[in-house]
A and B are shown apart, each in its own frame.
Chain A
Amino acid sequence: MKKNTIMTMAGLAIAAAILILLMAATPASSGIELPLKELLENQEKHKDDFVTVEGLLIEESIDWNADDIVLKFDVQDEEGHTMHVVYEGVRPDNFSEGVIAILQGYLGEENTFNAESVQTRCPSKYEGEDMEDYDPEFHKEKLGEPSSEE
């Protein structure tokens, strides 16, 4: 066999190894992104999934325990489905009525979400380093369709 052929085969073996690595890593470290309503309707199905979900913050529900660093709050979607969230971490900046909270974590008890991260996106998109096209009207229309910009 020519050496070039053997080298090609060795190369393919490395490529295959990387592919296998990819396949192995994908399911273990990925999660799903769902609208709040779907998540609440299929809690049993998604109980082991790492979920990304968005909701509008309800300000009066915020319960911030500074000593234990536990943040509890409720989020809702535009149809009024609400979900309780428990987050062991600090209160994000600008955590006020109507911001869109992007939550990542696992479902806990009935209608409760144990968040591992909470980010906010307000008043317009959550965007940073390159630019911010701030427009006070912008997020109002976005609230009607929170998933449209994903």
Chain B
Amino acid sequence: MYLLGNASIYIGLALTIYSILVFIIGIKIKKQTLINSGKGGVIAVFICMAVANAVMLYLLATSQFQYEYVSNYTSSELPLFYKLAALWAGNSGSLMLWSFFLTMYTAMIVVSRKMQGNPMVPYISSILLINTLFFFIILGFVSRPFALLDYVPAEGRGLNPMLQNPGMIVHPVTLYLGYVGLAVPFAFAMAALILKNVDDFWIKMTRRWTIIAWLFLTLGNILGGQWAYVELGWGGYWAWDPVENASFMPWLTATAFLHSVMIQERKNMLKVWNISLIILSYALTLFGTFLVRSGVLTSVHAFGDSDLGMYFLIFMGVIVVGAIYVLMSRYHLLKRSAGEFTSYVSKESSFLINNLLLVGAAFAVFWGTIFPLVSEAVRGTKVTVGIPFFNTVQAPILLTMMFVMAVCPLLAWQRSSAKNLRKNFLIPAVLSVIGMILMVTLGIQKAWAVIGYGVIIFLFVTHYLEFYRGVKARRKMTKEPVPIALYKLMTKNRRRYGGYIVHIGIAFITMGIIGSQNYDMETMKTLDIGESIDIKDYRITYERLEQRAEGINDIVYADLTVFKDGKRLGVFQPEKVFYGNWDEPSTEVALHSSIAEDLYMVLSTWDENGTATFIIKVNPMISWLWIGSIMVVIGSVFAIWTGRYQNITPKYTGVMKEVA
């Protein structure tokens, strides 16, 4: 196994170098057989990485503690799926997973039917292989996953209890799929620049891949938030932690790209900007990895100190400089034949504003993340920038964003006339004003909440109108029943309606954010047995404190009977888990969720006489976050699903095909 694992990494490394070389030579001397050999190499590299991962999974599953990695992150009493999940618990394992995804994506492009006979393939593959090479070098020489200990420990150190949560299975995997996925649009962009061809085919393919990466990034972030919410016991889902920011920044820039590429498609504008966004998104994923692996910033997520971060920083530097060089050398070509704005009030201009807001938001996050480092370098004191900073800056940006999102669907391409504007916006505007007045009279007084919800009503109405008008127009022609008309309308224009579903999902998430940020309640109290806490409409009675054993862990839990408005909701058990092989206990929250609010109960400490201290929170509208997230996922899957009616990939119209 030791041999097989290491061999697959070193053979993979050799094959990567080989493939890069044959691709470059093949392109230079225009020889198809060399290119084909390189494509075979790509698949072989993928197989090597798959084998290496499989070997590691096998070692983890069978608890072979003579391997440093296995003994560092698992112990024999762990359930099997956590043993396997330990593949991405540590540095070298998670890099293996990363390389696996990277080689998988590369292989997918090489074998893809759509890419057959396309001269971009050798370029894209070589660029992705250069990335792969970096990971192989790290795995082969810096952070070796199959390193052996010189003794065989009887027991491993175990997996950090915080990681023993279902979130551990999906959150890192989706996040990595998203991170790695952004390498693909980057490779497409570089290939297009080198070939001097940015055509419709390129736009379609790049957009598709970006949506895939974006979808996984979204999922990864949301699942991380959900995990933090149930596991860490502080009742929040997002803390603007440097590592969270690291995955949020590429998300923002990728979102910006997905919108501005539409202007390029329609009007042939913003080409340089779009390619810059792709480069930026990819660079930000590497920067994020640097933050996580280097330990320069204090964070709950940080991996242990290692010099891996430095390698990522250097690699990022190389990539960025290379990309900018390619971009600059093709600058004049991109500048040529650019379109013009014809009106200030049009879809184009709203997309442009959206882009500026998204990139601005990304910059604000970046600023806040690196500010401590900058201030320490410049002034000598380390200035910390906390959650309030991010909230103050991001709240207005998010709100403006929502407004643009609400307005955009009803704006016409090219130009919107005054009459058209009145016709489209009168109803939504009136409805949202009525909504805002209602909210104020019903007792919602906070300005942020009222304005925010008002804008969201606007958004819902404009989006509803889009669906309504589409169905109406269709029925005029076809006389279909409403559901069929709606279904056909949507499936014939998946991108557009998928996008709308995503928008509505984001609106739901925003409602959840506004609600939970502005109207949360918290109380802390020490109770004797039989006493109770009243919070909002809830009465929580402390019944007893008990202890039970589960494997090698001891669990202390309290029975809390919860009544809402006099109605019994049941018995809830917040827990504190003490681990047999870990010093720090962990908190298991008791949660009662409803569509309106979550009741969040934490057992903090207790005394020998039976009194116990509880933190009880009421977090309004948290469920809306999760509902909105599901809609975002549905919307983006809907948009990229290959339907019968469209998504016909345009023909490649670039330079003459010499080798492909």
A interface list, Cβ under 8 A from B = 2-4, 6-7, 10-11, 14-15, 18, 21-22, 25-26, 28-34, 50, 52, 64, 66-67, 69, 89-91, 93-94, 104, 122-134, 149-150
Given A33-B381, A128-B160: A28 and B392 interface contact (C-beta under 8 Å): yes
Binds A, one of B51-59, B560-568, B582-590, B641-649: B582-590
Contact with B160, one of A11, A52, A104, A132 (Cβ below 8 angstroms)? A132
Residues from chain A with a CB closer than 8 A to the CB of B352 are: 7, 11
CA distance A29 to B584 in the complex (A): 31
* B302 pairs with A130, CB closer than 8 A: yes
12 new A-B pairs (CB below 8 Å) besides A128-B160, A134-B582?
A26-B367, A26-B389, A34-B382, A90-B615, A93-B585, A126-B300, A127-B300, A127-B304, A130-B163, A130-B292, A131-B303, A132-B160
Inter-chain CA distance A64–B383, complex, in Å, is 31
Please tell me if B353 contacts chain A, counting CB pairs below 8 Å.
Answer: yes
Contact A18 B363 (CB under 8 A): yes
Show 20 A/B contacts (Cβ-Cβ < 8 Å), sorted by A: A10-B349, A11-B352, A14-B353, A15-B360, A18-B356, A18-B357, A18-B361, A18-B397, A21-B397, A22-B367, A25-B393, A34-B381, A66-B611, A69-B613, A90-B615, A125-B304, A128-B300, A129-B228, A130-B163, A131-B160
Task: List residues 587-607 of chain B with CB under 8 A from any CB of chain A.
Answer: 587, 604-605, 607
Distance between B308 CB and nearest chain A CB, rounded to angstroms: 12
Q: Please determine whether A14 and B356 come into contact, CB atoms closer than 8 angstroms.
A: yes
B344 and A31 contacting across the interface, CB-CB below 8 Å:
no
Check B172 for interface membership: any CB of A closer than 8 A.
yes
CA gap between A44 and B322 in the complex, in Å:
51
Which residues from chain A contact B72 at a C-beta distance below 8 Å?
133
CB contacts between A and B, total, < 8 Å: 172
A33 pairs with B372, CB closer than 8 A = yes
* B561-581 Cβ-contact flags toward A at 8 Å (1 or 0): 000000000000000100000
Residues of A within 8 A of B172 (CB): 130
CB neighbours (8 Å) of B171 from chain A are 129
B526, A66: Cβ atoms closer than 8 Å: yes
List of B residues within 8 angstroms of A33 by Cβ:
372, 381-384
Q: Name the distance in Å between A28's Cβ and chain B's nearest Cβ.
A: 7
Q: Are B385 and A15 in contact (CB under 8 A)?
A: no
Residues of chain B from 288 to 343 with CB closer than 8 A to chain A in the complex: 292, 295, 298-305, 340-343
Taking a contact as CB atoms under 8 Å apart, the answer to whether B89 and A94 are in contact is: no
Note all chain A residues with C-beta closer than 8 A to B526: 66-67, 69
Q: A3-B342, A22-B393, A66-B613 are in contact. Are A30 and B386 (CB under 8 A)?
A: yes
Q: Name the one of B302, B356, B382 contacting A32, with C-beta atoms under 8 angstroms.
A: B382
Closest to B381 in A: A32
Report Cα–Cα, A150/B659, bound state, in Å.
52
Who on chain A is nearest to B157 by CB? A134
Contact residues in A for B300 (Cβ distance below 8 Å):
126-129
Residues of chain B within 8 A of A123, CB atoms compared: 583-584
Question: For the complex, what is the distance from the CA of A149 to the CA of B607, rounded to whole Å?
Answer: 35
Q: Which residues of chain A come closer than 8 Å to B353, judged between CB atoms? A: 11, 14
Q: Output the nearest chain B residue to A88 by Cβ-Cβ distance.
A: B524
Q: Is the CB of B163 within 8 A of A30?
A: no
Q: Is the CB of B382 within 8 A of A90?
A: no
Closest CB pairs A-B (n = 4): A133-B304, A18-B360, A132-B160, A29-B389
Which chain A residue lies CB-closest to B388?
Answer: A29
Q: A33-B372, A150-B298 are in contact. Are A128 and B232 (CB under 8 A)?
A: yes
- Report the count of interface residues on B (CB-CB < 8 A): 73
In the assembled complex, which residues on chain A have CB atoms less than 8 Å from the CB atom of B94?
Answer: 130
**Contact across chains for A31 and B301 when beta carbons are under 8 A apart:** no
Instruction: Name the interface residues of B357-410: CB closer than 8 Å to any CB of A.
Output: 357, 360-361, 363-364, 367, 371-372, 381-386, 388-389, 392-393, 396-397
Secondary structure at chain B's binding surface: helix, strand, loop or mixed?
Answer: mixed
A7 to B162, CA, bound (A): 49
Of A31, A66, A150, which is within 8 A of B386 by CB? A31
Decide if the interface of chain A is mainly helix, strand, loop or mixed: loop
**A30 B607 Cβ-Cβ under 8 A:** no
Tell whether A21 pairs with B393 under 8 Å between CB atoms, given A26-B385, A33-B372.
yes
Of the candidates A30, A67, A128, A150, which one forms a contact with B389 in the assembled complex, judged by CB atoms under 8 Å apart? A30
**Chain B residues whose C-beta falls within 8 Å of the C-beta of A126 in the assembled complex:** 298, 300
Say which residue of B157, B364, B613 sits within 8 Å of A90 (CB atoms).
Answer: B613
Judge whether B372 and A69 touch: CB under 8 Å.
Answer: no
Asked if B525 CB lies within 8 Å of chain A CBs, one says: yes
Q: Which residue of B lies closest to A65 (CB)?
A: B526
Assess A131 versus B91: contact at CB under 8 Å? Given A3-B344, A7-B349.
Answer: yes
Looking across the interface, which residue of chain B has its beta carbon closest to that of A123? B583
Which B residues touch A122, using CB under 8 A?
583-584
Q: Is the C-beta of B224 less than 8 angstroms from some C-beta in chain A?
A: yes
Structural contact, B524 and A90, CB atoms closer than 8 A: yes
- Which residues of chain A are near B384, meaning CB under 8 Å? 30-33, 50, 52
Partner of B73, one of A15, A125, A131: A131
CA distance A8 to B555 in the complex (A): 61
Beta-carbon nearest neighbor of B612 in chain A: A66
Give complex CA distance A90, B524 in Å.
8
Q: Closest A residue to B382 by CB, please name it.
A: A33
A4–B263 CA distance with the chains assembled, in angstroms: 14
B229 at the interface (CB under 8 A from A): no
- Do B607 and A127 touch across chains, with their CB atoms under 8 A apart? no
Measured between beta carbons, the chain A residues less than 8 angstroms from B611 are 66
Of B162, B344, B576, which is within 8 A of A128 by CB?
B162
B236 at the interface (CB under 8 A from A): no
Instruction: Kindly state the separation between the CA atoms of A123 and B581 in the bound complex, as whole angstroms.
Output: 13
Given the interface contacts A18-B364, A21-B393, does A127 sit within 8 Å of B381 by beta carbon? no
Name the contact of B607 in the complex, choosing from A66, A90, A130, A150 (C-beta under 8 A). A66
Residues of chain B with a CB closer than 8 A to A124's CB: 304
User: Which residue from B349, B383, B585, B615 sits with its C-beta under 8 Å from A94?
Assistant: B585
User: Which B residues from 84 to 106 make CB contacts under 8 A with A?
Assistant: 89-91, 94
Cβ–Cβ contact A22 & B302, under 8 A: no
A25 to B298, CA, bound (A): 21
Interface centre among B299, B304, B526 (most CB of A within 10 A): B304
- From residue A121, how far is it (CB to closest CB) to chain B in Å? 9
CB-based contact A2/B303 at 8 Å: no
Closest approach, in angstroms, between the C-beta of A101 and any C-beta of chain B?
A: 14
Q: Verify A2–B340 contact, CB threshold 8 A.
A: yes
Give the docked Cα–Cα distance between A18 and B72 (Å): 45
Residues of A within 8 A of B524 (CB): 69, 89-90
Cβ contact within 8 Å between A131 and B90: yes
C-alpha spacing A42/B77, complex, angstroms = 51
Q: Are A130 and B89 in contact (CB under 8 A)?
A: yes
Which of A4, A127, A128, A131 is most buried by chain B, counting CB atoms within 10 A of its CB? A131
Tell me how far the C-beta of A136 lies from the nearest C-beta in chain B, rounded to whole angstroms.
Answer: 9
User: Closest CB of chain B to A16's CB: distance in Å?
Assistant: 10
Contact between chains at A7 and B613 (CB < 8 Å): no
